[in-house]
Structure 1
């Protein structure tokens, strides 16, 4: 079996920071206190900021708001198309119905929180209620684990915004998350579809980690939340931070685990880990800063290469299949280079604005993608819905 790569001895470039407050202190709550709501990708303070800035027509928030308003998924006339069995991978795939409705619920919830227009709140509520009354199974080939992870954390974020809204059946929605999504998230992190522990790329772990973290917050379940945090730090699979960024290089760069695969997947990694870190931060846990801000080094590496610059690459060797047959990548992959995902504002605003760290490549990539759109703005296929987006509106500080 190929061992999971360990960090090289190359000396990383310095990351100069202002002294960091704890996440709990920054969020104004004790690290081990009760969950705060709303408290996933957005807090009430975030919504208050968005509202003030949009109403003032301030840049760049207004540009982000305009992208949201123009998106077809954010219209209050959107009608849900729930199904009992969602299939991703293999025969009979129908999962686009799920991700389109999730993004419509999230986008309408955002419009309501910022504008106060209850037509959008009603639309979001009705989508969430329709699915929680209907969905009983997520299945398919191995890709069912991607569906459970990506759509699990996204669905939970939409529901978190709508918590307490008149007519929203939160308890039934929680039951759906616990009975349909969580068992797949849990099984993947424990069993990895019966494959070699290094067989699945980082993104498979990351989306399921994000879903467990989000379900823990939604359901006020400290054990699930803590489990996701522990996996980030010490998990056996490639989503754990030391394996997602296995090699450090000079200049503040950290080689991303999927960089030798293709850049579409390499850019998804920071999007998923960024969502994980932001949700954790809003509950008082600083995973952004864990292991000397190792996540930032990975983001800088991915951003630099996808901006067209060269990066160093250490040969990456891993075990595949059930027997851990070794494979190696010797060069960074060109495929998909330069892809724009609406996920860089979150990373930029945390490290540069909250923390005062130097992140030149992340800064440049965020500027290139600004103003970020969301689901429906980046094509009709699932890759365009891998992140909730709209970070210029929601994460600009």
Structure 2
């Protein structure tokens, strides 16, 4: 049995090997259609999770009364986040402990970020300036007040909120909304000084959904800030963590270890994988914890790859097999299939949220790769709403919306 420690090197070499394989072989209309990065490194805006073409497609679907977009739009519009009466509740210090102690500002920050994103999407679809004004009001309130995050969950909290702030700000800033320059600059400063330092901290021995959600925020913030160095760092982090989270048999007898961590023996690996000792294509580091956290990781993986796709970098190609296997594996059991005894002792927690739309859209819509179980699960749970953390309205934005 190979040692876990040697796999760190394999993780670091994986992107180079994937690139060489890609240059030698497989292609598709989607892979050839990904936008080439300009030599000057200019970012495409809006380009954090959703592109201008995708926003235009959403507006057209809703205007023409087409499903599932109309139902998804109405669900978003009629949610509490879509109300004109929404009032931001900013905090100077957001304190989020990892245990049962009461936090300070944690829920308010996450929900205000979702409200700003919701209002930004409503503005994009309807063209009503009241929605743009409300999004700006919420973002201005927080950028004027928040200064730091404390307690042990600061990294995850800033990831959840920061990823959503970046999406909201990107839409508002790069449409015809009137966001005064002073407000934009203050929001930029907030992302750079309050969120970016937290979401770029290394957390190799934490559960992998942390690392992936933090990278989701990091890449979105990088695009909003036109920060090329931070963007490239997010790509590198993605390339290290995804193979260490979603297993494929080609990895060997044991999963890959998180780069830079201390999971360096088979015994530590079993503990890190919540007691799982047998590995098969698609099983994830947190499968035996619960599907909720695997869902966070799936959503974050797709968010990162989708943002990179809009910027001309095809991360999807590098993790396509892992992503497809993970979607298929978890969708089966989320739909009710009885797990075998070797998987989590024959018992899994089927508590996944609305986390598969973005990944499924790329695989089926752009690559024509069928994932029947995931398709069935997504269609059963549409229209996807929000998890009140960092996943919101993805039936609306990504159902049948490749915008390749």
Structure 1 and Structure 2 fold alike (TM over 0.5)? yes
Q: Distance in 2 between matches of 1:313 and 1:247?
A: 20
CA deviation string 1:120-169 (max 9, x = no partner): 1100000001100100001112x111101121111111111111531342
- Which residue is 2:108 aligned to? 97
Q: Distance in 1 between matches of 2:171 and 2:282?
A: 34
Cα 1:313/1:49, change in 2 over 3 Å: farther
- Which residue is 1:177 aligned to? 191
Q: Distance in 2 between matches of 1:18 and 1:393?
A: 31
Shift of 1:293: 3.0
Q: How does 1:156-235 map to 2 (within 5 A)?
A: 156-164=166-174, 165-168=177-180, 169-187=183-201, 189=202, 192=203, 197=204, 199-234=205-240
- Which residue is 2:310 aligned to? 282
Q: Distance in 1 between matches of 2:235 and 2:346?
A: 30
Q: Provide the TM-score with structure 1 as the length reference.
A: 0.81
Q: Which moved more, 1:115-124 or 1:362-371?
A: 362-371
Cα 1:82/1:5, change in 2 over 3 Å: farther
CA contact 1:60–1:371 (8 Å) conserved in 2: yes
Bigger share in helix: 2
Tell me whether 1:63 sits opposite 2:71 in the alignment: yes
CA RMSD of aligned residues (A): 2.5
Consecutive unaligned residues of structure 1, counting only runs of 5 or more, are 8-16, 235-239, 315-329, 375-383
Question: What SS is found at the alignment partner of 2:286?
Answer: coil
CA deviation string 1:260-285 (max 9, x = no partner): 21222122211111111111111111
- Which residue is 1:366 aligned to? 378
Cα 1:45/1:179, change in 2 over 3 Å: same
Shift of 1:38: 0.2
CA contact 1:340–1:369 (8 Å) conserved in 2: no
Cα 1:228/1:111, change in 2 over 3 Å: same
- Which residue is 1:145 aligned to? 155
Q: Distance in 2 between matches of 1:35 and 1:387?
A: 23
Consecutive unaligned residues of structure 2, counting only runs of 5 or more, are 11-24, 251-279
Q: Distance in 2 between matches of 1:360 and 1:18?
A: 22
CA contact 2:110–2:160 (8 Å) conserved in 1: no
- Which residue is 1:125 aligned to? 136
- Which residue is 1:78 aligned to? 86
Q: Distance in 2 between matches of 1:60 and 1:125?
A: 28
CA contact 1:145–1:208 (8 Å) conserved in 2: yes
Cα 1:4/1:38, change in 2 over 3 Å: farther
Tell me whether 1:350 sits opposite 2:356 in the alignment: no
Shift of 1:67: 0.7
Q: Distance in 2 between matches of 1:302 and 1:27?
A: 28
What number of residue pairs does the alignment pair up? 345
Shift of 1:4: 6.2
CA contact 2:357–2:394 (8 Å) conserved in 1: yes
CA contact 2:213–2:297 (8 Å) conserved in 1: no
